[in-house]
Structure 1
Amino acid sequence: MNTETGGRSMKLRAGVVGLGKQALDDHIPGLHASDSAELVAICDEDAEVVREQQYQHRVQGYTDFHEMFRAEELDLVVVCVPHHIGRDVIETAAEHKVHVLKEKPFATTMQEARELVDICQRTGVQLMVTLQRRFNPIYTSFTQLADQVGEPFVVDAQYTLHIDDPSEGWRGRTAQAGGGCIIDMGYHLIDMILWYFGLPDRVLADMSVSARPDRDYDAEDTALIHFAYDSGLYGSLLLSRYIGPKTEQIRLVGSKGMVHLERGRLQRLSNSGKVIESLSREQAWPAAAACQIDHFRRVIDGTRPNVSGPNENLAHMGFIAACYESARSRTYVNPKELL
């Protein structure tokens, strides 16, 4: 690993596997903006996309990630591939002792998650799931305001957007995606729930695969999830790939007020709805991707804890597995019993 030379810190050599929107809009710009890593290689199965990005970024390009790992001396790799391919990339990276920054979800099933934990522990490779909201000041300020609303008792959360055809591409197939809106886009909001409140004691979920009855798909387009804690806190979570406009919000209600979080804005309100204080950003947080990479560098160096590592993401997978089990059994499921 490149660490120091002559007292000067060296950037880690980074590759990116999967050149979709997330990689092009977030991770590659984040690598260029980071003080901790430099982009040296890219990989995608689409040769035309590789040629275009290879020319633009002046790096080596590959259409086979196995070849990329053999040819390049990488320190870390950013993995942005369809969910069912993730494990193969992680295993290959681990074989080459390359640390992994992986786009959500951690895994497609609870069993796969456990096996990935074992792979990382056995090889000593650090893996961190990309959860950029943890590096955005709007989201990190939530708990500070939540401390000011007395005893919390209810959470109302939703993350919705509109995809005209939920059957399109690999995301419409459970065999490839591991599920639909719960395990895919919902992973971010589930992370927020677990980050702020911990893993619930009970989960009850219902889901739909009927938003477009004229299309053939089996990954849920919409889900309504109820969750509760033995402490008395309870809540609901609405996820959908078909309900527009795009909305992301969490509202926590306590005995002495409320906290309302949405993209770009965080507010503390009275129980009647009067705004007491507010924090906002008119633009996106462009430094989040670079901050995430810089944090991961420190995780690799052993100077920061890996708060989004394999063991930590077992809780996320437990929540997700509980949702799918609850929808099948039509009963409450304790996600802690699935860990």
Structure 2
Amino acid sequence: MVKQKIRCILLGLGNQGCEHLAAAIDHPDVEIVAGVDSSTERHTLIAKQFPMLNLTFFSQLEDIVSSGFIFDALILALPHHAYEPIWHKLLDLQKPMLKEKPLGRDYQEAKYFMQSAKLAKCGLRTAIQRRNHASYKFLFDYLKQHHLTVTELHAHLHLGKSGKKSTSTEHNWREDRRYAGGGALLDAGYHLIDLIQFLVGDFDVISSTMWNGQQADNGKDIEDRCWFTGRSAQTWIMLDTWVKGESDLQGGYIKSEQVLLQTSQGILRANREGVWCNNEQLFSSAKDWSNAMQKQLSHFAQNIDYNTWYDDLILDQLPAMRKIEEAYRLSSRY
């Protein structure tokens, strides 16, 4: 008997939504059958971009219910501030949800989303890609197989963006802390904090510094760079997230990411292109996200099929949000 694919509706047809659509093409376990977005222009664009998916389009959540459309799960790729007003409507649908990070704009919102979903018996998983990427999975397995103790971990993620304020109303929410929740730390830093937890386990935040251009964090504006240090029982942790990055000397900025680990065997270095030990390459991989995104959908399908909503990734998200909140608190205490 052929197993039926899980029929998903995607809320939000922006850039992040498109990554989910691409991952769903020919996926063995999941199919995205419909998209929800208030922009009919997006409907037309997405239909042309992904004709093979034969999507049904809705303009708002209520249209799904009134149409009687049959589906099994939701994938949520909306702006950060868009969830709180409609969260009860999402829970009323009684469907499992894969929600783009961050879990919430702050710890309290994240905790509310997680606890209310549990009470409503709607499985909730956060979309986190880096721990699913082949390079970082190899690094994780290598540490375990060789029983390595990590004494220091240095991680950076520089997005290579201009940092200029957008003139498009579609993206203005990212420039307002009330709507976005935060900047470099909550957005890019969320990936690194989850990756650090994946590699070395839980840790405490010790210090944090955030800047917006040449100004220290004032608790109101969106930070474009964050540094923080942390400590676990065995590991010192240094993290650097930056919306811009180092200059490319041509008027732009260099996009880069890397994790450096000091171990008893020497220095391990990893990024999305491979893993090296003392500058000798151990593993190479494709840089893009396609495989990681597909694995993420597979894990979501497994959660649904076996009703398992307590794996490490799911359980790590509230601790990640608490670390982010603590970092914001420490950065603005002066």
Using the size of structure 1 for normalisation, the TM-score is 0.85
1:77 equivalenced with 2:80 (yes/no):
no
Which residue of 289, 294, 297 corresponds with 2:298? 294
Is contact 2:22-2:290 (8 Å) kept?
no
Give the partner amino acid of 2:221: D
1:184 equivalenced with 2:187 (yes/no):
yes
SS of the counterpart of 1:266? strand
SS of the counterpart of 1:199? coil
Which residue pairs with 2:266 in the alignment? 257
1:316 equivalenced with 2:320 (yes/no):
yes
Give the partner amino acid of 2:26: A
Which residue pairs with 2:3 in the alignment? 9
CA 80–94 in structure 1, closer or farther in 2 if over 3 Å, else same = same
Shift of residue 111 of structure 1?
A: 1.0
Unaligned runs of 5+ in 1: 1-6, 331-339
CA 149–262 in structure 1, closer or farther in 2 if over 3 Å, else same = farther
Is contact 1:203-1:227 (8 Å) kept?
yes
Which residue of 95, 104, 108 corresponds with 1:107? 104
Which residue of 319, 326, 330 corresponds with 1:326? 330
1:215-294 superposed matches below 5 A? 218-229=221-232, 231-243=233-245, 244-269=253-278, 274-275=279-280, 277-294=281-298
Is contact 2:205-2:228 (8 Å) kept?
no
Q: What is the CA RMSD across the aligned residues, in angstroms?
A: 2.3
CA 90–139 in structure 1, closer or farther in 2 if over 3 Å, else same = farther
Using the size of structure 2 for normalisation, the TM-score is 0.87
Q: What is the rounded CA distance, in whole Å, between the counterparts of 1:310 and 1:157 in structure 2?
A: 22
Which residue pairs with 1:159 in the alignment? 157
Q: What is the rounded CA distance, in whole Å, between the counterparts of 2:160 and 2:328 in structure 1?
A: 22
Q: What is the rounded CA distance, in whole Å, between the counterparts of 2:297 and 2:205 in structure 1?
A: 34
Q: What is the rounded CA distance, in whole Å, between the counterparts of 2:80 and 2:120 in structure 1?
A: 22
Q: What is the rounded CA distance, in whole Å, between the counterparts of 1:89 and 1:184 in structure 2?
A: 22
Q: What is the rounded CA distance, in whole Å, between the counterparts of 1:46 and 1:222 in structure 2?
A: 32
Q: Percent identity?
A: 23
Is contact 2:11-2:74 (8 Å) kept?
yes
Shift of residue 306 of structure 1?
A: 4.4
Is contact 2:149-2:234 (8 Å) kept?
no
Q: What is the rounded CA distance, in whole Å, between the counterparts of 2:103 and 2:178 in structure 1?
A: 16
Which residue of 83, 88, 92 corresponds with 1:86? 83
Which residue pairs with 1:4 in the alignment? none
Shift of residue 51 of structure 1?
A: 2.5
Q: What is the rounded CA distance, in whole Å, between the counterparts of 1:249 and 1:201 in structure 2?
A: 21
1:60 equivalenced with 2:56 (yes/no):
yes
Q: Cα deviation per residue 1:296-335 (whole Å; 9 max; x = unaligned)?
A: 11111126564366543101101101110111225xxxxx
Which residue pairs with 1:3 in the alignment? none
CA 96–151 in structure 1, closer or farther in 2 if over 3 Å, else same = closer
Q: What is the rounded CA distance, in whole Å, between the counterparts of 2:276 and 2:157 in structure 1?
A: 18
Which residue pairs with 1:198 in the alignment? 201
Is contact 1:166-1:172 (8 Å) kept?
no
1:145 equivalenced with 2:142 (yes/no):
yes
Which residue of 18, 23, 37 corresponds with 2:12? 18
